[in-house]
Amino acid sequence: MTPSFISIEGGEGAGKSTSIEYIKGKIESFGIECLVTREPGGTPMAEDIRQLLLQHRDEVVDPYTELLLMFASRRQHVENVIRPALASGKWVICDRFTDASFAYQGFGRGLDKDFITSLKHFVHGDLNPTMTFLFDLDIEIGMARAGKRANFDRIETEAMSFFERVRQGYLTQARAEPDRYRIVDASQSIEAVQHQLDLFLTPLLTLRGLANE
């Protein structure tokens, strides 16, 4: 299947944001228009919800409140940005999508995965990424990379055990859907990571070009 909806997943500091423009450039070099977006966020209202989610608070944030806000922002993003872009023939590259809700809220916080699945069906129905790059990295290396930034947001201040569950949650999802997932060894240099992305993308883009000739 043509991978027109690509999601990028992984833990903190794994290099998703660093590589996303590279992926866009690679796809555009084959003459395909591409939209880069992110979650939570991607529309003005969804970005407001992102702020609500990530800012530090004095009150306890109930994990289901967090989950529902993730999906509220996603619904807004899917309806106003992702579906229209795909319908206009663009490819969409999304920095995190619903797999993040399974990894962080499901595996990380221990919320009911059947409930998350029902939200997924309600919020985006048959729209799912056709290809997902999982940037896999030892969490201590990721934290050290992310730690070079000035501020940690609310979720980034969780315990290491939380992030280890998130990492294992992503790997569990990748093993369950090997056709959709491409696991990137994010411990390598930026150039080596880009080389891995090339190895995944070039054959697909070349085949697509041949199919369109």
205 binds ligand Z5A (CB under 6 A): no
107 binds ligand Z5A (CB under 6 A): no
Scanning residues 144 to 203, which ones bind ligand Z5A (CB under 6 A)?
Answer: 145-146, 148, 155-156, 189-190, 193
12 binds ligand Z5A (CB under 6 A): yes
Q: What one-character-per-residue DSSP string does 63-76 give? A: HHHHHHHHHHHHHH
State which amino acid sits at residue 156.
E
CB of 110: closest distance to ligand Z5A in angstroms? 13
- CA distances from residue 68 to 61, 133, 152 in whole angstroms, order as listed: 12, 25, 22
136 binds ligand Z5A (CB under 6 A): no
113 binds ligand Z5A (CB under 6 A): no
Rg (CA), the chain: 17
CB of 192: closest distance to ligand Z5A in angstroms? 7
Provide the token pair at 124: 């985006």
Under 8 Å CB-to-CB from 156, ≥6 apart: which residues? 12, 146
Binding site for ligand Z5A (CB under 6 A): 10, 12-18, 39-40, 70, 95-96, 100-101, 104-105, 135, 145-146, 148, 155-156, 189-190, 193
